[in-house]
Structure formats: structure tokens, C-alpha cells
Chain A
Amino acid sequence: MSVLLEAKNISKHFGGLKAVDGVNMNINKGEIFGIIGPNGAGKTTFFNICSGIYAPTAGQVVLEGKDISGFAPEKIARLGMARTFQNIQLFKYMTVLENVKIGFHIKTKTTMADAILHTKRYKEDEKLIQEKGMELLEYLGLQNLAGTRAGNLAYGVQRKVEIARALATDPKIILLDEPAAGMNPNETASLSEFIQNINKDGYTVAVIEHDMKFVMRTCHRIMVLNFGEKICEGTPEIVQADKLVNEAYFGKGRIARGEVMTDGNA
């Protein structure tokens, strides 16, 4: 298995606050990698560093052997990393299809002259994004909503549209920031299935999530952050049994008193 995304000793300090502190991580090609941790553990900051929204204070982000630390987000997107956001950032006033069409931005090459003169390139590009866009929506089961304004959709569906938009960039790896937040158990289950499906179709997925059931069921490997530091990494079984992880989630006292079983079942 080859390493797709690698974080080498990543730190991000906001003044005196060490939001992320010396985190190492390898995500292999074809895997679903989970990042968990209590609130404020630095998970989203870590994602923001990987996708270029923040530059790391120290350390390197390496995508397919190429050092991308400090690159602009749009450049990283071009190199094959797509992401969704914790608080959904759809183009709310555009239709679902238009949202996805913008996702195809880096896949098209129309220039202003092409657009004004309606050259062959323009027609090919428009045809491509229309067809591929609809194809993608069908793949996610959203084809009936193509003409609906994104802001009018239900929360769970908006999450799906955001994933569709990210997939439109044809990424090598897709980072999902709390995709199950605000979903009911049924929606969460279908999201888990969905992520496993796109993973089978060849996408590498990194996912931040709070829902333990979801993470344990979906991810191949999990990294646990606490106060900006990595405290554990491994398969769901290893993470569930880890003492530090249980302490971080349940507190030392409760474990000592035997109120929590350390096999992860609270």
C-alpha cells in the first residue's frame, strides 16, 4: 500500500495556543481514515492545514510525495484534494446542478474568448459538465433535485450535495469534516454506507467525526487527537481498547472507579 497523504510533524500555533502539536499521520491509498477527538482537540485545524486554509507553523504536508505545505487551497484542490466543511458551505442560492458545475471548474479550460465566440472548446466543456454533473448526481441519487436551490434542501441532503461538489473535482483524496453532524441515526447509517461505497469505487477518504458508532463502523484506521496531540492511532479495535483514548473521553476518575469498561462500551 502506498502512502497518499502524509503529515510530518505538523504544528499550528495561534499565539500561545498549540492547536495542533507535532502530529504525524499517513493515509494510505484506498483507505477510510478517521480522525476523532474531544471538542477543541484540533481536528478541524488539522484538516485546514492539510487543505491549505492555514499554513502550518512547523512540519510538512506531503501529497503523493510532493510537499504541499503552505500552498494555497485552490492549488491543493488542483493537485487532487477535495474537502467539505463542518458548517456546510454550499452556494445556497444556486441550484444543486450549478453547485456541482462549479466543482468541475478545474476540469475545464474555457477562456473568455471561447465563451464569447462559443468555440468548440466551450461547447465540449459545457456538454461535459452537464453530462458528468448529471451522472454524478445520479451516482449520489440526487438527480431529481438538480434544479432545486441548494439552500432549500434538508440538512442531510445538503451534506450529500457538498460531497457531490467535492467529488466533481475528481479528487485523489476527499476530506470530510463532520459529515454526520446533525443527522438522525438512519441518515448516519446511510451516510456510512455511502462513504464505504465511494471508497470501493476508488476514492480515499479522510473523515472527522464525533459519532463513535459511525467511525467504528466506517473507518479502516483511526487517529485520535487530544489537545492538539496525537494520542493513539490504529484499527477501531486498538483505539477502542486504548487507555489514553478512554481517559480523554471519559476522564481518569470514572475509569479508575470502574464506571467505564475500557473496551469502549460506555
Chain B
Amino acid sequence: MKELMKPVSGTLDTIRSAFLKHKKLCLLIGVVLSILLPLVFPGGYICGVFCRILFYGTMAGALNVINGYSGQMCLGVAGFFAIGSYTEAILATKFGLSMWVCILLSGIVSMIFGAVLALPTKRLSGIYLAIITLGFSEVIRIVCLNWTGLTGGTMGIKDIPAPTLFGFVFSRPRHYYYIFLVLAIIFLFCTRRVVNSRIGRAWMSIREDELAAKSLGVENGTYKITSFMYGAFWVGAIGAVYAPYVSYIDSTLFTLDTGWNVLAMLIIGGQGTLSGALVGSTVINTLTEALRSFGDWRYVVYALLILVVMWVRPQGIAGASNSILAGEKEQKVKQDAETKEEVC
């Protein structure tokens, strides 16, 4: 099976290097195509799928900062998503705040929760951190379910007002598509710059070797907190647009399943790469639609897909084959080959 999948993995590597070679051109084509998409397919259903690809993709990208770049194990993305959505919904319905302001506010509120979660857990890693973040996600959901005064409890919050811009009302999926698109582009732009800076390097040094990073003066705790805050900010911001997009939210939208979904996208797409999250989101969301007729059986397909990806290409579809995530075994083989070349 593994041998059978080798050519597939090889093709993905070729595509990856071709993409990196003509990065600017590819990005240009990508942006133009994504702007044109809703004009070509204006239907509500298909634009809804595009929206999902974009906001899940951005969310997976934000999680990627925590899990992929700084190597922490956060499973609580649904919690931040809930905080962002509820903040927007409450501020918009009770105080009449515009969604545009709420994007920022939701991001900040979510960021504060990110700091609150990361501060006491900065010494934890791996499975221990995973359990805590998992618990965090559930606690947030249960609070949303039970704090009827603030969140409407089981009734949720309905009639979340649609955002307007210069008199234009965003009412259809294809309108929201552009909001999500702009957010995704801003997110990618900012994250690319942060990752290629002192901060991004500090994150990656923690992922690669915590002790060595410490000995070089990288404040591990601070940078773990920053990565949680950065990731949480963007998940919260996405939540703020999601709330008016669905116009009704309740706690069932933010179960652990949502968190697993986002995590699955990230793992399948490739951690530690900017494009991975979007690739993963595209694959999963397309599959969801394609397999809709199979009902719950499609989850079996996801599971199989994750297994195959973890087996054949642990770095993910868009991941680099020379990254830490590609696994030690294959690295060794490649390393030997490379060293031999160097000697010759």
C-alpha cells in the first residue's frame, strides 16, 4: 500500500516545488480565481461550500500557528470559535454594534482567553496540554449552553443582524464569501510576515528543541503564550463573521466535533505550512459535499483518509518532505543519500 502511494506522494512533492518556484504567479492566479468563483457559480449552495472552505481554512491556519509552528498540542479550537461567535452575537444583538467593529473585539476577547488558557499551561506539552485544551473547549461550550442570561442557553441567539457596508447589506453566501476571502488574505499576509520574523523563528525553535531554545535566551513561556494568543485572535475574528453568516447560533455549533474537523483539515493539509490549512479545508469540505449521499458513512472515509495521510505522508498533503513532521525514518534514509552526495 505504501509503495503504491509513493508516486502520489512524489507528485505532491513536485507540485509543491513547482508552486514554490512560481510563488507570485500562483498566488496571483489563486486570488483572481477566488474573486471570480462566486460570479461563475452564484448559487447559494455552492457559495456556501466556498464560504466553509474559506473560514474553516483560516481557522485551521490559525490553529496551525499553535500546533504547526510552535509545536504545541491545542485541541480547543472550537472553544475560541465559540467565544468569537458569541461575542459578536451578543454585542450585535444587545448593543447594536456593527460587525466590522466586532471582528476586532471578538478577536481580542478570544485572544484574552487564549492567554488565560496558555498562562497556567505554559509548562505543559504534548498529551497533557491536549487534554487541558480539550477540557477548555468543552467548558466554554457548557457555559454557553447554561448561561441563559447571556447566551440564550439552549435557545441560542437568533436574528443576528447582517452586516452592512456603505448601505450594502450582506445577505447571501456569495456576499459573505468576500468577507471570508478578505479575512483569509489578511490572515495569510500577517502570518507569513510573523512566521518569517524573530517571533516565528522563536516559535519554531521551541517546536524543534525546547532546551536549546532556552539556552539561547528564547523565553519559552512567553512565546507559547504569544502563539496561543495569535491563533486565538484569528479564530475569534472568524467566529465574529460566522455568527451573522448563520444568523442563529447555539452551543451545538461549537462541539468537539468542530474542533476535530478543523484539526483533521490541518493534519491532512500539512502542519507548519501556510498553504496546508487551506488545502486541507478544501479537501475535507469537498469530500463532505461529494459524500453527502452516504450520510454518516462519510466519517469512515475521513478516518481512512487521515490514516492514509498519516501513513504515507505524515507531513500532510502540502507539507515539506524535509520537515520535522515527515518522520524520522524517512529522514534517515534521505539524510544518508544526501550525505553521500556531499561526499562525492
Contacts and interface: CB of A to CB of B under 8 A. Distances in A.
B197 A74 contact: no
A102 B202 contact: yes
Contact of B214 (A74, A91, A118): A74
Given A112-B194, A116-B194, A98 B201 contact: yes
B215 interface: yes
B289 interface: no
A61 B185 CA distance: 51
Contact of B335 (A53, A101, A151): A151
A177 to B, nearest CB: 11
B212 interface: yes
Interface string A145-182: 00001011010000000000110110000000000000
Interface in B293-344: 322-324, 331, 335, 338-339, 342
Contacts of B212: 85, 89-91
B209 interface: yes
A228 interface: no
Contacts of B282: none
A108 to B, nearest CB: 5
B217 interface: yes
Interface residues of B, number: 34
Contacts of A90: 209, 212
Contact of A112 (B208, B209, B218, B226): B226
A112 B194 CA distance: 6
B50 interface: no
B122 to A, nearest CB: 12
A149 B322 contact: yes
A91 B209 contact: yes
A102 B201 contact: yes
A93 interface: yes
B215 A125 contact: no
Main secondary structure of the interface of B (DSSP, over half): helix
A152 B219 CA distance: 27
A115 B197 contact: yes
B21 interface: no
Contacts of A151: 331, 335
Given A74-B220, A105-B216, A151-B335, A122 B201 contact: no
Contacts of B2: none
A235 interface: no
A85 B209 CA distance: 12
Given A93-B322, A93-B323, A169 B217 contact: yes
A53 B219 contact: no
Contacts of A118: 193
B230 interface: yes
Nearest to B189: A116
Nearest to B229: A112
Interface string B185-196: 000001001101
Contacts of B22: none
Given A91-B205, A112-B199, A85 B211 contact: yes
A103 interface: yes
A52 to B, nearest CB: 8
A212 interface: no
A66 interface: no
B174 to A, nearest CB: 29
A93 B324 contact: yes
Contacts of A116: 190, 193-194
A115 B323 contact: no
A3 B93 CA distance: 68
B198 to A, nearest CB: 4
Contacts of B331: 151
Interface stretch (A29-37, A75-83, A254-262): A75-83
Contacts of A165: 216
B83 interface: no
Contacts of B324: 92-93
A51 interface: yes
Contacts of B219: 74
Contact of A73 (B199, B204, B215, B335): B215
A187 B214 CA distance: 28
Interface of B: 190, 193-194, 196-202, 204-205, 208-209, 211-220, 226, 230, 322-324, 331, 335, 338-339, 342
> 5 closest pairs, A vs B, by CB?
A115-B197, A77-B217, A106-B217, A89-B212, A91-B208
Interface of A: 51, 53, 72-74, 77-78, 82-83, 85, 89-94, 98, 101-103, 105-106, 108, 110-112, 114-116, 118, 122, 125-126, 149, 151-152, 154, 165-166, 168-169
11 contacts: A53-B214, A77-B215, A77-B217, A89-B211, A90-B212, A93-B323, A94-B204, A105-B202, A110-B199, A115-B199, A149-B322
